[in-house]
Amino acid sequence: MRVLRARVGQEFDIATGPAVRRGKITAIANDRVEFELGEELCDQEMPEITLLLAIFKFDRMEWAIEKCTELGAARIVPVIARRTDSHLAAASTKRAERWRRIAQQAAEQSRRPGSPEMAVPIKLSEALNVPAALRIVLSESEEQTLLRDVVKLDTPGLENEGNGITLALGPEGGWSEDELQSFHQAGWISASLGNTILRAETAAIAATAIVASVLHSL
């Protein structure tokens, strides 16, 4: 009411949970704005994007959760990796509810029909065998294969396979060598975001944006 200077008769797209619908303001009070909901707006179908997000500094991780939600992540799984700070790992479970709220608010702001699933933190060993049609681990040591190329080559027909695409993004300092070996043994494809070294939150946002962009263009 205050930020948008709402007036009776204005129309907005309203995220109602299961869908996004057109809504017209019918009444305004000091603490309440009433809408009449209209037609349901069609949302574009696309394979789901799941992020295995290794836990890093909470303020930066919250930024990543917010932005990746806006970009279309369907599920975010906080992961305790070898290089995750022990204090952050111990406190991560208590942060789960706050992360859910951040994801929900970001989904509403970006007019998504629903917020992404925000899983409880798990150890990497529990996440390696997550089901997905395409599983990609982002690695600084990968020198030849770029993320966008993997998605372009392996995405055709993906919508018929279910479970979508899962991206694994490491903590500050990246994945350890034995963790990368575990990914490869579990059948993950290794890919890079380019030659520059990115912060953990930047890598998560960039990877989600690249995958979403490729999927929208198909």
Task: Give the domain ranges of the chain.
Answer: 11-41, 49-217
157-191 per-position pLDDT tens digit: 555 455 689 999 999 999 999 999 999 999 999 99
pLDDT for the residue 157: 54
53-83 per-position pLDDT tens digit: 999 999 999 999 999 999 999 999 999 999 9
Distance CA 162, CA 109 (A): 27
8 A C-beta contact, residue 134 and residue 49: no
108-128 per-position pLDDT tens digit: 888 787 789 999 999 999 999
Strand partners, 29: 32
What phi and psi values does residue 185 have, to the nearest 5 degrees?
-65, -30
Q: Which amino acid is at 3?
A: V
Distance CA 86, CA 124 (A): 14
What phi and psi values does residue 26 have, to the nearest 5 degrees?
-110, -25
Quote the pTM value. Answer: 0.80
Mean pLDDT (the chain) is: 89
Looking at domain 49-217, does it have CATH number 3.40.1280.10?
Answer: yes
92-108 per-position pLDDT tens digit: 999 999 999 999 999 88
Host H or E run for residue 37: strand 32-41
